Amino acid sequence: MNKIIQVQNLYRTYGKVQALSNISFDVEEGEIFGIIGPDGAGKTTLFRILTTLLLADSGSAFVDNCDVVKKYRDIRKRVGYMPGKFSLYQDLSVEENLQFFATVFNTTIEENYHLVRDIYVQLEPFKKRKAGALSGGMKQKLALCCALIHKPRVLFLDEPTTGVDPVSRKEFWEMLGKLKTEGISILVSTPYMDEAGRCDRIALIQNGAFLKIETPDKIKKDFALPLCAVHGKSMFALLKDLREFDGIYSCFPFGDTHHVAFKDESVSIEELRSYLEKKGHDDLILNTIGAGIEDCFMNLADGEVSL
C-alpha cells in the first residue's frame, strides 16, 4: 500500500522546550490516523511541520511523496488543513468563504460539491451569514468544507472536536468516516481518548514523544496488568483506601467506578473485596474489565511498566 505520510526522526524545539522528539511514523493511503494526547504534547507542531508551515530542526517528512521542505508548494496544493483555531475569514459570508477557498485552489464549488454536500446542506440556511457570527459547531463544519473543496489527497485536522459537546463530536466523526470512503486520507488530532476507537491506527503522544503507535484494539489488548473496576457507596473514601492496598499498581477514578490495576496475577479480586469490607465499605461491586485507551495512555505515560 502507498504511504501518504512518511515521517522520520523529526525534532523541533522552541527555545528550551523540546516540542517534538524523535517522531517517526507512516500513514497508509486511505487511513484515518489519530494523534492522541493532551494540550501541549506537540500535536500542533507536528501538524504545522507536515503542512509546510513550520520547519523541523532535523528529520525528514514526506506528504504524498513530496518532501515538506523542498516541495512545499506541491504539498500545499494537495492537502486540506483545518487548524485548531478557527481561521476562516470572519467578515466573509459562509458562501463567500467556500467560494474563496475554491478559487484559491483553482477549482469551483460545483466541481467537488459531492465531497462537501452532506456537510454543506446543514450550512445552507445560513449561507449569507458572516462566518464570524456562526455557532461553534457551524464554524467547524464550514472549516471542514473549506479544507475539502479542492479535493485534497490528505486532510489534516488539528483538534477539530475540542470544546465540542459529545453529540456534535459523534456527528463529526461520522462525517470523517464518510470522507474515508471517498479515498481521502486523514490525519486527525484529539485530546479526547474516547475518540481513539474511530481511527484505524493511533499514536499516543505526550511531551513531544510518541508513547506507542498501534491500532486502538491492539493497544488495549497490550495492557499487561490485571484490571478491575470497583464501585462502592463512598467513592472518595474508597479511592483513598484502594491506594493503600498492597497489591495495587495504580488506581484511578473512571466515572462511576475506580479502575484498579494489580501488580500481577497473584492478587485476587476476593482479597481486595475482603480488605475493603474490613475498611467498612458497603455495596461493593468488583468486576474484572478490559483496559480502555485512557487506562493505556496513563499506564504508558507513567513509563514504569513496559507493555
Partner 1 sequence: MSVVQTEQLTKKFGHFTAVDHISFEVGKGEIFGFLGANGAGKTTAMRMLCGLSKPTSGKGIVSGYDIHKDTEKIKRNIGYMSQKFSLYEDLTVRENIRLYAGIYGIKEKEIAPGTDLLLEELGFLKEKNTLVKSLPLGWKQKLSFSVAIFHNPGIVFLDEPTGGVDPSTRRQFWELIYKAADQGITVFVTTHYMDEAEYCNRVSIMVDGRIEALDSPANLRKNYECDSMDGVFHQLARKAKRQAD
Q: Which residues bind partner 1 (CB under 8 A)?
A: 37-41, 135-138, 162-168, 170, 191-193, 206, 235-236, 239, 252-256, 294, 297-298, 301-302
Q: Which amino acid is at 286?
A: L
d(CA 47, CA 21): 14
Q: In what order do the strands lie in the sheet with 201-206?
A: 79-82, 154-157, 185-190, 32-36, 201-206, 209-214
CB of 94 to partner 1, least distance (A): 13
CB of 259 to partner 1, least distance (A): 10
CA atoms within 13 A on the CB side of 98: 31
Give the nearer residue to partner 1 in terms of CB position, either 39 or 244: 39
d(CA 98, CA 143): 9
Give percent helix, percent strand, percent coil of the chain, each to the nearest 5. Answer: 35, 30, 35
CB of 202 to partner 1, least distance (A): 14
Per-residue CA distances from 307 to 41, 72, 78, 212, 225 (Å):
21, 38, 37, 10, 9
Per-residue CA distances from 186 to 33, 174, 240 (Å):
6, 13, 42
CB of 72 to partner 1, least distance (A): 29
Please name the residues in contact with 73: beta carbons below 8 A apart, sequence gap of 6 or more. Answer: none
Give the nearer residue to partner 1 in terms of CB position, either 194 or 277: 194
d(CA 97, CA 127): 10
Give the nearer residue to partner 1 in terms of CB position, either 147 or 193: 193
Please report the DSSP string for 53-109 in residue order.
SS--SEEEEEETTEETTTTHHHHHHHEEEE-SS--S-TTSBHHHHHHHHHHHTT--T
CB of 185 to partner 1, least distance (A): 25
Give the nearer residue to partner 1 in terms of CB position, either 150 or 258: 258
Q: 3-class SS at 235? A: helix
Give the nearer residue to partner 1 in terms of CB position, either 67 or 229: 229
| Grid cell of 267 as nine digits | 492478587
CB of 135 to partner 1, least distance (A): 5
Give the nearer residue to partner 1 in terms of CB position, either 39 or 57: 39
Give the nearer residue to partner 1 in terms of CB position, either 109 or 164: 164
CB of 295 to partner 1, least distance (A): 9
| Grid cell of 236 as nine digits | 472518595
- Asked if 78 and 152 touch (Cβ cutoff 8 Å), the reply is yes
CB of 152 to partner 1, least distance (A): 26
Give the nearer residue to partner 1 in terms of CB position, either 28 or 171: 171
